[in-house]
A and B are shown apart, each in its own frame.
Chain A
Amino acid sequence: MKKYTTTIVCLLTYILNAQVNLVEVNENSKSGNYKDILTSFYQLAVKDFSGEEKSIGFNSTLFALKSKANPNLLKDVNYIEATFSRNFQFNFKIDLNKDLKYTGFTGGISYALINNRNETLANFRGTPLEAKYNDLSEFLGTVQATIGNQIALDATISDKKKEFELLQNAVDEILDYKSDLTSSKNPYVNKILKAIDPQIASKGYGETITNSSGLMAHLNELTQAYYKELQSKGLLTIATDGTSNESGKFNKASFSITYLKGNKEAWNEIDLRAKLIYADTLVTDHLPRTELNTKIGSNFKFGNDYKKQSYLEIKAVAEYNKIFNNVLSDEDDEVITANAEIRLRIADDLWIPLVIKYDIEKANFLGFLNVTYNFEGF
């Protein structure tokens, strides 16, 4: 126990104390369900908090650790080459009993064979977004140069640097998009708007896009729609892990496959999972057995504003468990349950997933309270 704890504490200390300014990835549009399968950076999870067998786990991608040590990996030219490490996740967890005594250690890896959801690799070339952005960029560029030239030639302006800063701030303000730019205190905002709004109106984009505010609102809507659509793409992962008991003896291994695919608006996704488990469950006798666990579910997100994380997710799941050999006398070799997995977000990236299972044959309810915390660095 001591050596595992020391290892985990050392690793966490290294991660948390690293002074590298890690680029934050916009995680907001991802579902908690998705983050449980493939985290972008780090995830701490407490599983079955109220049950007999608890665990405290840590997930991270290989890329998260490598980029801590070498921030150059975050450069686009290196980032695109790091497919393997971005899709390779490792995890470990400490298993505890109801009295919080150590009962074992689990270590595992997973790899995303199909991962079309990565927003950081989004490509909007050839879309209406690019065409409209190009227009805006051209209008703005021309006006920036014209006004910049006036500033440069204006002998009455003594502090040119400050004036260019003011002009740049005006451009930033317009591109940041605020619903009412006309109330801006920056005089260059109105000057730019007067120059580009007629050009935007003449483009004939539509009734709602007759000025820069309308165009920026439209560009933001398009951007959000494209990112949202990405979250509906397929994600296929395979994973394997091994578990040892409190004396360090290997007693369990599993191989699993998971597939997620959302609808276009990304408020719902199909969730398919299968897990083959080999376990030596008894302490007194050697009694190895093989089990299959399959789940078919549908996850619903609530509060689906792209810029905000969902506050609630509910997954309806049909679960089938089959024990192939060495079935104990007081258990069934086949169990079918209807599950509801409820994820409640109580703070940014802090989720409390509650799993409720209903044994269809025995009419029993079971509940499992979990806590997951996704984080990107400190």
Chain B
Amino acid sequence: MVNISVTVFGGLPPLPIKVIIDNLDNNHDIKFSRNNSFSEDYILPPGRYMIIISGMNPSGGKTEMHVHGDFSEGPLPTDEKTTEKTYYSQLFYGVISN
């Protein structure tokens, strides 16, 4: 199971938060967007995954991203990131083994 958690501080995200769970071994990708902070669990089959979280921060605000779960490798380069940039697109690479 993989938990993806995004928390926005200091206002509302002016644009939806977009998430791509890209299975690098096949085309069974998951794409979704959320209007606000969220914390959701996903049961993913074994494989190599690139999880990309992108969005726009509220004026003067910040966004915290966490990707945790049953990874045998990663997430790389980190499992959590806080950004105050206006636009962000953060990647998390991880491997889920059998």
Q: B-contacting residues of A (Cβ < 8 Å)?
A: 23-27, 74-77, 79-80, 118-125, 129-130, 133, 137, 140-141, 144-145, 148-149, 151-152, 160-162, 164-165, 167-168, 171-172, 175-176, 219-220, 223, 227
Contact B60 A133 (CB under 8 A): no
The 7 closest A-B pairs by CB, nearest first: A120-B11, A23-B10, A26-B60, A119-B59, A164-B77, A165-B77, A25-B60
Q: How far is the CB of A334 from chain B (nearest CB, A)?
A: 44
Interface flag for B50 (CB, 8 Å): yes
Contact A141 B20 (CB under 8 A): yes
Interface flag for B69 (CB, 8 Å): no
Contact B16 A125 (CB under 8 A): yes
Interface flag for B44 (CB, 8 Å): no
**Interface CB pairs A-B, < 8 A, 7:** A23-B61, A74-B10, A79-B10, A121-B12, A121-B58, A145-B52, A151-B93
Contact A122 B58 (CB under 8 A): yes
Report the bound CA distance from A147 to B35 in whole Å.
Answer: 28
Contact B59 A227 (CB under 8 A): yes
B interface bracket (residues with beta carbon within 8 Å of A): 35 or more
Contact A137 B59 (CB under 8 A): no
Q: A-contacting residues of B (Cβ < 8 Å)?
A: 7-16, 18, 20, 22, 24, 36-37, 48, 50, 52, 54, 56, 58-62, 76-77, 85-91, 93
Q: How far is the CB of B47 from chain A (nearest CB, A)?
A: 11
Report the bound CA distance from A123 to B35 in whole Å.
Answer: 10
Report the bound CA distance from A152 to B25 in whole Å.
Answer: 12
Contacts of A223 in B (CB 8 A): 86
Contacts of B52 in A (CB 8 A): 141, 144-145
| From B13, B16, B22, B58, residue with most partner A Cβ within 10 Å | B58
Contact A23 B9 (CB under 8 A): yes
Contact A161 B77 (CB under 8 A): yes
Set B15, B22, B37: member contacting A75, Cβ < 8 A? B37
